[in-house]
Chains A and B, each alone.
Chain A
Amino acid sequence: MLKSPSGVIGLVILLVAISVAVFGPMLFPNSPWRMVQRPFLPPFTLGAVPLGTDALGRDIFAGMIFGARVSLLVGLVSTLAALIVGVPIGAMAGYFGGKVDDALMRFTEFFQTIPSFALAIVLVAILQPSIYSIVASIAVVSWPPVARLVRGEVLSLRTREYVQAAVVTGQSNSWIILREILPNALSPVIVLASLMVATAILLESSLSFLGLGDPNLISWGYMVGAGRTVIRQAWWITVFPGIAILISVLGLNLIGEGLNDALNPRLSREGR
């Protein structure tokens, strides 16, 4: 991982973003909703509000710091939730095969046939926008690819000799899945998960952009959405949070790539 330069860059970006999300609000104890200065103050004019203010005179810099917390939290938690749903379903489908596989995969395809963003919008709209409904809906639309990936891996692993040996020695199914198969199927899942965090951040931003964010929490997508209508008068309201989204998504993608390089045995062997 540390050998690939893009992975290192991604890791640095992620660490910076996480430290901003964790420690930033301690440095800026004021609420990002507070109207602190003249509205529409351009960036780099006042040291107190380095990135300017938005339509209500709120500090864009503070908004970005607090937004990092929401964006990363939503990205990580919803990915975790998607993994918790997707991994067992995929593992069971792949391991048991037959009718169980058919049933679980048709169920998965049911979710895959609906465009994921449309489904997320519908879910958030029905559940009323809040941080919980957003995390839940992102998890609901993100787990099917996980399930399919895990199923594929398990399908190929369950025919390996060491798995069959475990079967012969009379190990229980759950023991075989958890101890023998899943640890070996994990590396592509980890790569996928890092990309899913990026997708989740984008999904949350898109939902907030459309006004379906949690009204009590500031997020980057909300800032872009609220600023888009005045983009002709005040570009900075949308551009800075937009850059934040771009960089953090880029960072996560780089990490995904770096992990892929590091965890894929074929690639790493070629590298040697």
Chain B
Amino acid sequence: MADGDWDGPTVALRARARAKRFRLVSLEKDYDMPKRVLLGLLLACGLAAPALAQEPKTGGVINAVIQPEPPGLMLAQVQNGPTQMVSGNIFEGLLRYSPKLDPLPELAESWSVSEDAKTYIFKLKKGVTWHDGKPFTAADVLFSIEMLKQTHARARTNLAQVDKVETPDDHTVVFTLKQPFGPFLGIFEVGSMPMVPKHLYAGTDWKTNPYNNAPIGTGPFMFKEWQKGSFIRLVKNPNYHEKGKPHLDEIYWQIIPDAAARSVAYETGKVDVLPGGSVENFDVPRLSKLKDTCVTGAGWEFFSPLAWLWLNNRQGPLADKRVRQAIMYAVDRDFAKDVIWNGLGKVATGPSASTIKFYTDDVKKYPYDPAKAKALLKEAGYKGEKIRLLPLAYGETWQRWGEAVKQNLQDVGMTIETIATDVAGGNQKIAEWDYDIAFTYLYQYGDPALGVGRNYISSNIAKGQMFNNVEGYSNPDIDKLFAEGAVATPDSKRKEIYEKAQKILVEDVPVAWMLELQFPTIMRCKVKNLITTGIGVNDGFKDAWLDK
């Protein structure tokens, strides 16, 4: 995983091509047409399911795949992807987020912001109990924050702007910020800030607390058993605070180490849900075509993984803006989307994914245009100097993508040498700035202040570290805009600032943005409402029900 806490789709991928705009004239008819329609219908079926006003049915057991086996389930201490996926059903945060990333109530039923945007008051839901029957109160929130500051790196950063937290009564929490922090309402999702029970953890050694192995949360499902290497079993929480939910009786998270075996498990009916990245992506089209199968790419909006090429701005031909722009024109990103990613995802327009706040597509466009790329290279005086390309060693998808990009760049006259490396070696080369072009993808966390600015501001240039401004782009205007954007109010002002920043960045091309990635969830169509929110892959089973 390039960053974030998730290590799912590092699997290989091969796409069944449905390249709509394939460049060469195909002499035969498009045999894939019916499949495309079919997949479209399947996608529609998956996405439209929540919209159908069908009465949820109660009961049933769902088998889902979890890949790989999580190292632990105590979400406040372990934040791996599979942990988030399983524990998102056991624990809860104060808020959830809609696919448009608007905050939705979860443990907080309402919230208000002061005029100066420095005080946030959360009203907690009444009548919420932990799985052991004890009531959930503001004291638990206070305790959770203290614990997360020590155990959860991202929560610590997110809470850096918090001056103090107060609990005037059992159902009110007041956050006072040092200065206004625009994305503040975006840090309360279960994976970013899970609520942990104070009565079980206070005064104990958190790392060795026995409840780490049998976690107690407030969520719709309770931990029942974990047969290591085999399955994790969650059962319905009968006293869940949202009346009538959850609809399911039990969830079995099946642990199947081999990718091919996971596909077979779905084909034979052993499992009903394949979360994103749990099967090889070239298997996705085949599985999608199975009877009663629905596919959706939804549920990732909050994370919005965005893939790009790091371009080393410091040295060689890439120090010239025109060469970097030429790369944007030279790489056929639609081909990558249609062929390598099996039509999933979206061509990126700039540093922000289209699913996060303050995104604008009113920026300079870089369509696939080899002629323009060649002209720009010529103008920049590029004379075939050797450029090293570092693919991402996350399996075949990325290997194929590296090969395609290399070919694209060679087609416009660049001399590219692919450097073979493993994940650790690649990370080290990037962190030590020993590369020219390198693949990566990073999470965006819903807000440019949380997930975008970190890659472009010059204060984040630090040799030896990953995932910061490793491209070495330095622009005082951008530094100023991101500094202002994080603390500006109201949102319309932030929007203005971030749109300006996006325009400048897209003109300068500090890195070459490729695709907004999508990891499809494959499931039987009888599983309804599995993904309803922007963090849906992790909190999905709360609303899900089985149509028998």
Contact = CB atoms under 8 A, between A and B. Distances in A.
Interface string A126-141: 0011100000000000
A233 B22 contact: no
A173 interface: no
A36 B419 CA distance: 24
Contacts of B411: 34
Interface string A24-63: 0000000101111111100001100000000111000000
A159 B315 CA distance: 66
A55 B14 contact: yes
Interface string B402-423: 1110110011000001111110
A72 to B, nearest CB: 22
Nearest to A133: B420
A33 B391 CA distance: 16
A272 B418 CA distance: 57
Contacts of A129: 420
Nearest to A237: B14
Interface stretch (B24-32, B91-99, B158-166, B376-384): B24-32
A226 B400 contact: yes
The residue among B14, B400, B403 with the most chain A CB atoms within 10 A of its own CB is B14
B404 A35 contact: yes
A56 B339 contact: yes
A55 B400 contact: yes
A265 interface: no
A230 B280 CA distance: 10
Given A46-B27, A211-B399, A226-B396, A38 B17 contact: yes
A128 B421 contact: yes
Given A211-B399, A226-B396, A39 B19 contact: yes
Contact of B282 (A37, A128, A216, A229): A229
B372 interface: no
Contacts of B24: 36-38
Contacts of A5: none
A160 interface: no
Given A39-B15, A56-B404, A230 B282 contact: yes
Range for the number of chain A residues in contact with chain B: 20 to 34
B386 to A, nearest CB: 11
A128 B419 CA distance: 8
Contacts of B410: 31, 33
Interface in A226-245: 226, 229-230, 232-233
A129 B400 CA distance: 17
A97 interface: no
A130 B19 CA distance: 33
B154 interface: no
A212 B421 CA distance: 9
B223 interface: no
Contacts of A211: 399
B17 A40 contact: yes
Contacts of B340: 56
The residue among A128, A212, A230 with the most chain B CB atoms within 10 A of its own CB is A230
A219 to B, nearest CB: 13
Contacts of B27: 46
Contacts of B396: 226, 229
Contacts of B420: 128-130, 212, 214-215
B548 interface: no
A37 B411 CA distance: 15
Nearest to B335: A35
Contacts of B391: 215
A38 B31 CA distance: 11
B335 A55 contact: no
Interface in B159-186: none
Contacts of A39: 15, 17, 19, 339
A215 B396 CA distance: 13
A46 B28 contact: yes
Contact of B26 (A38, A55, A230, A233): A38
A56 B403 contact: yes
Contact of A233 (B19, B286, B402, B419): B286
Interface string A146-157: 000000000000
Going nearest first, the 8 A-B pairs with the smallest beta carbon separation are: A39-B17, A215-B418, A129-B420, A230-B14, A215-B420, A55-B14, A33-B407, A230-B282
20 contacts: A31-B410, A33-B403, A33-B407, A33-B410, A35-B335, A35-B404, A35-B407, A36-B24, A38-B22, A38-B24, A39-B339, A45-B28, A55-B14, A55-B15, A55-B339, A56-B403, A57-B339, A128-B421, A215-B420, A229-B14
Interface of B: 12, 14-17, 19, 22, 24, 26-28, 280, 282, 286, 335, 339-340, 391, 396, 399-400, 402-404, 406-407, 410-411, 417-422
Given A33-B407, A35-B404, A216-B418, 12 more contacts: A33-B403, A37-B24, A45-B28, A57-B22, A128-B420, A128-B421, A130-B420, A215-B418, A215-B420, A216-B417, A226-B396, A233-B286
